[in-house]
Amino acid sequence: MARPLTQSRALQLRAESFLPGGVDSPVRAFRAVGGDPPFVTRAEGAYLYDADGNKYLDMFGSWGPMILGHAFPPAVEAIQQAAAKSASFGASHAGEADLAELVMQCFPSIERLRFVSSGTEACMSAIRLARGYTGRNFVIKFEGCYHGHADALLVKAGSGVATFGIPGSAGVPAETAMHTLALPYNDLDAVRAAFALHPGAIACIIVEPVVGNAGTIVPAAGYLEGLRTLTHEHGALLILDEVMTGFRLSLGGAQGLYGIRPDLTTLGKIVGGGLPCGAFGGRAEIMNYLAPLGPVYQAGTLSGNPLAMAAGVATLQHLIEHETSVYPQLDSVTASIANGVAAIAEEAGIPVTTNRVGSMFTWFFTGAPVTNFESAATSNTVTFARFHRAMLDAGVWLPPSQYEAAFVGTAHGTEEVAFLLSAAREALANAQDSEN
Ligand code: KE4
């Protein structure tokens, strides 16, 4: 049982006098699950350590980047060596091509790429590039998919399927939102309807090939192929947002797993080994529309940052060198965790639907299959919150929202599986008791 979060509480109160909600990103505030978030002091391997001396098994891995565990020694050394030569040059350096070469080795669809400092920047830039290249303004995204917080992507479905989007956040002008069509995921008819309603006007489709931001949702058979066919037919670009799935589901991300060749790909998280880094890339003919070669402007002070490049190179080199062992191991350990808890929930009479691809997964507290955001929303978020808090108290830190994916890294082994299943057995027994 975790020690009381006395120090974390004091740190939360201090943080709130500087940062809205005490956080630099909303999900960290634990509003979806309640209670105070522990304040982390350090992390190593599969574990986080908080200000009150508690140790937690980390099941969200900084939201994806830490696939090789925290403080992965080759990455730490690479960052330390790079830092000694200055944290930033603002000028070209060989490290950019070093990382780009490894990314392109993993993603054959990427013929040219550009580094940025976040997944948001990668997706925002890819959208602008698609609009500049096609000369079209409309964008298709899908309910439940998140592509960062650029205005054009903080949009939710309008009154009817395929009609104009409406702002998904305060501060997003209706004029901006109207050019984004938010459609249901796993529904090709909705995409056909959108192209029929806006002939010659849709620049691109951007999609999480495996959704992680509604919890994990798997593409239906033929869905991604259908998006590829429809974008080809209508002269629109297909952008696969692999910020979460890139290097996670396979070395070549979801496109490597499902055999889809997009026009553009966005990357983040793992590509920077945990440092601020994103990237977008694809067909050279499209990428060469970017300044200084072409008319689409895009820039960034810290783009290609030498420390992020060094951390990314250390991370990708390890994944490439150990590909044949890493991905089967991640799949096996994650299956043991995901399926083990699902079986315990079933024994406890608690309806849980488990969606998993490789080392990303979600336990939805619903008895319904989860194939899109609407079905994900049938989950009992109260039971999830109770489960989350019980697991945290037992030393297992799950992502603090029903609508987030959990991640396993190479530092998770049989000991971590046993520890987590033991904690889940107790947590679900209690969750069930309090429901009766
Ligand atoms: P960032 O700007 O947060 O680096 O990336 C945005 C982004 C883009 N595309 C996908 C598929 C993503 O998952 C993300 C960011 N993921 C969230 C987790 N669901 C980041 C966590 C947070 O917002 O604090």
**pLDDT, tens digit, for every residue of 312-353?**
999 999 999 999 999 999 999 999 999 999 999 999 999 999
Does 436 score more than 70 pLDDT? Answer: no
- Cα(50) to ligand 1 centroid in Å equals 23
**What number does CATH give the domain 6-63+323-435?**
3.90.1150.10
CA dihedral 365, 367, 369, 374 (to 10 degrees): -60
Q: Which residues are catalytic?
A: 146, 241, 269
**pLDDT, tens digit, for every residue of 53-84?**
999 999 999 999 999 999 999 999 999 999 99
Does 433 score more than 80 pLDDT? Answer: no
160 pLDDT band, cuts 50/70/90, is: confident
Ranges of each domain in the chain: 6-63+323-435, 73-321
**pLDDT, tens digit, for every residue of 209-251?**
999 999 999 999 999 999 999 999 999 999 999 999 999 999 9
388 pLDDT band, cuts 50/70/90, is: very high
- Cα(132) to ligand 1 centroid in Å equals 24
Which pLDDT value is given to residue 163? 77
Q: What is the mean pLDDT of residues 153-174?
A: 86
63, 154, 169, 360: residue to mutate for ligand 1 pocket, most atoms within 8 A of CB: 63
For residues 20-59, b (16+ Cβ closer than 10 Å) or e, as one string?
Answer: eebbeeebebbebbeebbbbbeebebbbbbbbbebebbbb
Do 73-321 and 6-63+323-435 have the same topology in CATH? no
Give nearest CA residue, ligand 1 atom 1: 119
Q: Which residues line ligand 1 (CB under 6 A)?
A: 25, 27, 63, 118-120, 123, 146-148, 208, 212-213, 241, 243-244, 268, 278, 404
The CATH architecture assigned to 73-321 reads 3-Layer(aba) Sandwich (3.40)
Q: Which atom of ligand 1 is nearest to the CA of 145?
A: 11
Token pair of 426 as six digits: 């107790």
- Cα(243) to ligand 1 centroid in Å equals 7
Cβ pair 370, 143 in contact under 8 A: no
The overall average pLDDT reported for the chain is 96
